[in-house]
Amino acid sequence: MTPRLSVVMSVYNGAHRLAATVDSILGQTFDDFEFIVIDDGSTDATAAILGRYEDPRIKVLSQENQGLTRALISGCNEARGEIIARQDCGDRSAPERLAKQLAVLESEPDVVLVSCSTSYHAPGGETLYIAEGDGDQVRHSLLHDDVKNIRALAHHGSAMFRRAAYDQSGGYRAEFGVAQDLDLWVRMAALGRIVFVPEILYEATMEVSAISAQSRPMQREAARIALQLRDGSDPATLLARAATLRASKGAGLRRNEAAALYFIASCLRRRRDPQWAAYARRAVRRNPLLLKAWLLFVRPGP
């Protein structure tokens, strides 16, 4: 029997948080779904953990490491549901997430994409901030704003969309190794409305080594390319440029991790969470030249 909804998730060496993520999906109040998990060439215990689950809703696809975008393309191509929901490994969905987002799509035919309020957390579980949004404002931004002002969904993993809209928009584009979600949302926004469920239904964990923490300049450039494509610039040239952008690695890794740790410390300090100091100390250990991390210890409190 064809499921009503397909949940698509990629995992690469995410064993340390994988079980909590999977359990959050299998524990949903809505259960007419398939859970497609793409093991993108993991070398840790990911395969073993996935192998412990006997729930017939889980379908594991194993492939050589190809990166998030290509893994999501494979997962969405495999999806049988009329609705596709995203989920990121390491994050958790509230039990009512699928039911509440699906209710919007079922009751409002002109809606193509649904997000929800999302709480962001440090690696230790501390709350950093809550991302919310207004669907009409976000849609307008996706269709018209420049890269400095663009607004998108609360989190890539919070998205739920119609399979028909995904196909009509062209789906994820393999050329976008980063900012693949923004590129897709821009094209989907042209097809119909966007709605945010005003409840925290998604919890995202910010890992220090995550792509979003390590490759902000590349993400920004990829976003700029997506918006140039939106505005009618030459697709062949722009897609070729997008294909050259990849997450930063190598020599700059410690600096990138230090910047991520500083960001976490700053968020916690604003929330008056005493754990900020531990993250700030880690930041200066990673990069002793990161002056703004040192300044957190002498700057007056919020």
What pLDDT, on a 0 to 100 scale, did the predictor assign at position 254?
79
Residues 187 and 255 in one domain: no
| Per-residue pLDDT tens over the stretch 218-234 | 889 999 999 999 999 99
Q: Cβ-count burial of 279 within 10 angstroms (0-12 exposed, 13-18 middle, 19+ buried)? A: buried
Domain closes at, from 230, 264, 287 = 230
Alpha-helical (H) ranges within 52-179 are 68-78, 97-107, 135-144, 163-169
Q: How far is CA 100 from its chain centroid?
A: 19
What pLDDT, on a 0 to 100 scale, did the predictor assign at position 273?
97
Residues 139 and 80 in one domain: yes
The whole-model pTM stands at 0.94
Alpha-carbon span 106 to 24, nearest angstrom: 23
Alpha-carbon span 147 to 302, nearest angstrom: 30
| Per-residue pLDDT tens over the stretch 233-285 | 999 999 999 999 865 454 467 788 898 999 999 999 999 999 999 999 999 99
Alpha-carbon span 94 to 108, nearest angstrom: 22
Residue-by-residue DSSP string for 256-279: HHHHHHHHHHHHHHHTT-TTHHHH
Residues 76 and 218 in one domain: yes
DSSP, collapsed to helix, strand or coil, labels residue 182 as helix
- Radius of gyration for the chain, computed over Cα atoms and rounded to the nearest angstrom: 19
- Residue 114's CATH number: 3.90.550.10
Place of tokens 């966007």: 194
Residues 225 and 269 in one domain: no
What pLDDT, on a 0 to 100 scale, did the predictor assign at position 255?
82
Residues 49 and 148 in one domain: yes
Q: What is the pLDDT along the chain (302 residues), one digit of tens a residue?
A: 899 999 999 999 999 999 999 999 999 999 999 999 999 999 999 999 999 999 999 999 999 999 999 999 999 999 999 999 999 999 999 999 999 999 999 999 999 999 999 999 999 999 999 999 999 999 999 999 999 999 999 999 999 999 999 999 999 999 999 999 999 999 999 999 999 999 999 999 998 876 555 567 888 999 999 999 999 999 999 999 999 986 545 446 778 889 899 999 999 999 999 999 999 999 999 999 999 999 999 887 77
**What is the token pair recorded at 289?**
């030249």
In a domain, 242, yes or no: no
Length of the chain: 302
What pLDDT, on a 0 to 100 scale, did the predictor assign at position 76?
98
Query: What domain range is 274 assigned to?
Result: 249-302
Looking at the structure of the chain, the number of domains it has is 2
Alpha-carbon span 190 to 169, nearest angstrom: 9
Structure letter (DSSP) for residue 248: -
Residues 148 and 262 in one domain: no
Domain closes at, from 171, 197, 230 = 230
What count of Cα atoms within 13 Å lies in the side-chain half-sphere of residue 155? 28
